[in-house]
Amino acid sequence: MKAKREALTSLFRAMREGKVDEDIIDLLLLINSINGIYTTSSCSGRIGIIEEPALGAKPLSRWLIKVHREMTFEEAREALKKAEKGLIFLKSQPPIFHVVAEDIEKAKKLHELGLASGFKYTTFKVISKRYLVEINATEYLTAPLGRDGRVLIDDEYLSFALEVGNSMLMRSKGRLPRLGRNFRKLREELGEDELFYELAEKFEIKAR
């Protein structure tokens, strides 16, 4: 598929530039090595503090801190000092994978795989004649912290919100091994893609 070649080229370039979440690189390589499917934008799950000029103004938002692991209280307090204008939120978001399938049958398999792996928000849709499956979990947290540079919560609340957000993040990340096992089974069923190995060699990416 021409689209898969372009997607793999983009992924491998991003990997070489250190722009891919380290803890899902093996999983992304596994998924893309499967015949008839490939990934687009994906994330290993994250927690951070974000400043939004207004509700829903995502394109103009600014992350004060964003990490793909548990965040410490000290990191959060230091990040809040950077707040200037807009609403301030603590956000915890689970891993999310966008996987394109070449036909409806593979899309159905991906949908079932996501649900069976514990990612209960998994959906699929047709976009520009592509079958896009979003493998997504339920552990989302958004907690307001302040506005226009003013932190309107105390240390006890911040510590509590971080504890909940970190727990949700790690719980959702805990499903990644099961997701990997299910994708390995799918590769056994659908076979491996020669295009993946051809491009991996070209970009000197070691397929693990």
Whether the model clears a pTM of 0.85, i.e. scores above it, the answer is yes
CATH topology of domain 2-202: SSo0622-like fold (3.30.1960)
Q: What is the pLDDT of residue 59?
A: 80
Q: What is the pLDDT of residue 158?
A: 98
- Does the pLDDT at position 167 exceed 90? yes
**CA distances in angstroms from 65 to 71, 80, 105, listed in the order given:** 9, 9, 40
**CA distances in angstroms from 118 to 38, 78, 114, 139, 170, listed in the order given:** 20, 34, 7, 11, 14
Diameter over CA atoms, the chain: 56
pLDDT average, residue stretch 43-50 = 98
Q: What is the pLDDT of residue 165?
A: 98
Summary mean pLDDT of the chain: 95
CA-closest candidate to residue 154, choices 39, 73, 62: 73
**Domain positions in the chain:** 2-202
CA-closest candidate to residue 109, choices 182, 49, 58: 182
Provide, rounded to the nearest whole percent, the portion of the chain with pLDDT above 90.
Answer: 92
Task: Tell me whether strands 46-52 and 130-136 are parallel, antiparallel or unpaired.
Answer: unpaired
Count of Cβ atoms closer than 10 Å to residue 205 Cβ: 19
Q: Report which residue type is found at 204.
A: E
208 pLDDT band (50/70/90 cuts)?
low
For the segment 5-45, what is each residue's pLDDT rounded down to a tens digit?
A: 999 999 999 999 999 999 999 999 999 999 999 999 999 99
pLDDT average, residue stretch 120-133 = 92
| E strands in the chain | 37-43, 46-52, 62-67, 87-93, 96-101, 123-127, 130-136, 141-147, 150-151
